[in-house]
Amino acid sequence: MTGKGQGFGFGLGKMKELAEAFKKAQQVQEGAKRLQEELEQMEIEGEAGNGLVKVIVSGNQEPKRVEISPDALNEGAEVLSDLVAAAMKDAYNKSTATMRERMEDLTSGLELPGF
């Protein structure tokens, strides 16, 4: 390979590509900011025991509230604890899946390394 006239390979075409890449990155950044706001407002419900216990979290896994059916109280503390844990896990899984889907939508069509 000769070093003559090679430079860093940044001809005018490359500069244009770079400018496009920056523009796309800026759009993704704006989209990500909107997505973060959307996720904060979302309510995603996890449940256990056929709805005896429901856990509601935001789209970014922030706990919002827990709803416990009066019938669940008859199950006893140990079972109730298991139901709450299972509902939390369900809500978390749904929330992370939602976040992943939204991020994929946001970055689709972009060739970004690591996504």
Average pLDDT value for residue range 23-40: 88
Instruction: Quote the pLDDT of residue 26.
Output: 86
- Which stretch of 11-20, 37-46, 91-100 has the lowest confidence by average pLDDT? 11-20
Phi, psi angle pair for 64, to nearest 5°: -110, -50
User: Domains in the chain, ordered, with CATH?
Assistant: 12-107 (3.30.1310.10)
How does pLDDT run across 43-66, given as a tens digit for each residue?
999 999 999 999 999 998 999 999
pTM for the structure as a whole: 0.72
Residue 4 scores a pLDDT above 80: no
Nearest-angstrom CA–CA distance, 3 and 21:
27
